[in-house]
Amino acid sequence: MPDLATTSVFILEIDSVEMGSFRKVSGIESETETIEYKEVTKDGRMIIRKQPGAMKWSDITLERRIDSSHSLWEWRKEVIDGDIDKARRHGSIVAKNSKMEEVARWNFTDGWPSKWTGADFDAGANDVATEKVVITHEGLVRA
C-alpha cells in the first residue's frame, strides 16, 4: 500500500525560477464545456446528444504570508503598466511534502497575474497578514 502524501507547502515557479512558497492554492482545474443538441432517431424518438466543446481553465489563486519579497507585486505591475505581453509567462505550481520533496507538479501556459490582494490589517486581531495573487492562464497540465 503506498504512503499517503501530505503536502505542507506549494511553490510557484515562473520560467523555472522560484517566486515564493504558499500555504494555500485553489483553482487547479480544467473543464470541457458540454454542447447539447437534439436528434431524432429512426423510430421518431427525440434524444439529446452531448459533445465536448471548448476547454476552460480556472484561474489559480495562491495565498501566502506577507514577507519582504516584491516579486509578485513587480509581476502584477507589468500588467498594471499595460505590458501584458511581457507579463505572460509559463509557470508551475509544485506541491512539496514536509521533507521538501516534490509530490506533484502542474504546469501552466501564458499565465499573468489578473488580481493581487494585500492584507487586511486589524491591530486588535492575531491574524497573520497575507497576500493573494490570481493567475489567469491559457492551459494547465499535470507533469
Only one residue has cell 507585486, namely 73
Helical H segments across 34-126, by residue range: 71-80, 84-87
Query: Within 10 A of 95 (CB to CB), how many other CB atoms are there?
Result: 19
Rounded percentage of the chain residues whose pLDDT exceeds 90: 78
| Mean pLDDT calculated for residue range 122-136 | 86
C-alpha cell at 5: 502524501
SS3 86: helix
Q: Give CA–CA dist 60/33, Å, rounded.
A: 19
CA 139 to chain centre: 10
pLDDT tier, 1 (very low <50, low <70, confident <90, very high otherwise): very low
Whether the per-residue pLDDT at 69 is higher than 90: the answer is no
Query: Within 10 A of 116 (CB to CB), how many other CB atoms are there?
Result: 16
C-alpha cell at 34: 458540454
In the chain, domain spans:
9-142
CATH of region 9-142, choose from 1.10.10.10, 3.40.50.300, 3.40.30.10, 2.30.110.20: 2.30.110.20
Rounded percentage of the chain residues whose pLDDT exceeds 70: 95
| Mean pLDDT calculated for residue range 48-56 | 95
pTM flag (> 0.75): yes
Of residues 105 and 124, more confidence is placed in 105
